[in-house]
Amino acid sequence: MRNRIQQQFFIQFFGFCMLTVFAVYGQDKYLDKKGVIVFEASEKLFEEVKAKNESVTAIFDVSKNEIASLALIRGFRFKNSLMQEHFNENYIESDLYPKAIFRGKISDFDLNDLGSGSKEYTIKGVLEIREQKKSIVPVVHIQLINGVISLQGSFKVLPQDFDIQIPKIVANKIAKEVMVRFDFKLLANEED
Amino acid sequence: MKKTKTHLFLAISGLLVSLIGYGYFYLNQTHRNIQAEEVKYTVTSSEMAESFRKPGAKTNIADQVIQTKGRITALGEKSVTLDKRVNVLFLKKLPADLKKGREVTIKGRCVGYDDLLDVVKVDQALLIEHFELNINRLEYE
């Protein structure tokens, strides 16, 4: 009798340990499949040069504080369809270079430090577009809301950083600096 | 003499108006309507993934209108994942009775391959048909 109870206890305890291990393991990676990136290079008095991608992938590994994000170039949508066509065909050449990828690390981040308010951090990382790598250090605001990590931030890049030539005829209609904003809502073990 | 001048003036102004009109429509074209376009490729989810994964393969389905069939492995309000390989974003909200495990056929634009998640992305999609999952198939899985 006593043996049986011990046995049962052992099984339950073992099961509980396994569950804890899996739960902790599973929560290392936070994922967003529908992240948002907006970039803008508008000049005053001219038509806005702005596009939005609403299906950006972002993965945040909280055990290593590493973040990776991927945006498919063809997923960027402009208001003006001709601008979108030129962006894909002439500027980025999305058939040859279909994606933009960022990999970085957040310094001094600890998930347990996050309260209800948002905190400011910097991510040191590399953005790669058209096989050109550019180091960027975006400032991000991180907040934990009901188990969802909200990550919002921005940075600036230049078209030349990625070997993109802006033809003279449109040079004054496109800002020299491109402002990029991102908004990720990362979930642990996200299904969809 | 006067007549030819008037004619010339009319011809030039007519040309100008049509040029401006053409320019206006050229600059303000509407976006592609994926739903109205014909399906260019009918592919399985694994064929889609393979076409991007093979090194050096020509990824000719990117930006094309495709039709594919698969089992729902993840479900959102306006999105599904088919066979864990294809991520589909719909234009409209999905019917509420749609469940995981169902087989669906969709039409949409192939955006490209996401190598972080190892999935092919499709957007501006439309649900063509959905079936109950075949019971026999469940038993063998």
Q: What does A118-183 look like in DSSP terms, one character per residue?
A: -EEEEEEEEEEETTEEEEE--EEEEEEETTEEEEEEEEEE-GGGGTPPPPHHHHTTEEEEEEEEEE
Q: What is the pLDDT of residue B137?
A: 46
Task: Give me the residue label for tokens 């931030």.
Answer: A153
Q: HSE (CB half, 13 Å, CA atoms) of B81?
A: 16
Rounded to a whole number of angstroms, the distance from the CA of B102 to the nearest CA of chain A is: 16
A180 in Cβ contact with A36 (< 8 Å): no
Q: Does position B59 have pLDDT exceeding 80, yes or no?
A: no
Beta-bridge partners for A120: A141
Q: What is the pLDDT of residue B15?
A: 92
Question: B79 at the A interface (CB within 8 A)?
Answer: yes
Q: What is the mean pLDDT of residues A26-53?
A: 91
What is the per-residue pLDDT across B8-52, written as a single tens digit (0 to 9) for each? 999 999 999 999 888 888 877 888 888 889 998 898 888 888 888
**CA separation for the pair B103, B134 (Å, rounded):** 9
Which chain B residue shows the shortest CA-CA distance from A69? B116
Q: What is the mean pLDDT of residues A24-32?
A: 74
Q: What is the pLDDT of residue B136?
A: 46
Residues from chain A contacting residue B121 (CB–CB below 8 Å): 55, 72, 75
What is the per-residue pLDDT across A103-124, written as a single tens digit (0 to 9) for each? 999 988 888 888 778 899 999 9
Contact A81 B89 (CB under 8 A): no
**CA separation for the pair B102, B46 (Å, rounded):** 17
**A191 vs B74, B87, B111: nearest CB:** B74
Q: What is the mean pLDDT of residues A131-152?
A: 93
C-alpha gyration radius of chain B: 24
A60 in Cβ contact with A40 (< 8 Å): no
Continuous segment of H or E residues that includes residue A82: helix A81-86
Q: Does position B80 have pLDDT exceeding 70, yes or no?
A: yes
Question: A103 at the B interface (CB within 8 A)?
Answer: no
**A59 vs B31, B63, B116: nearest CB:** B116
Angle (nearest 5°) at CA A167 between A166 and A169: 130
B105 in Cβ contact with B128 (< 8 Å): yes
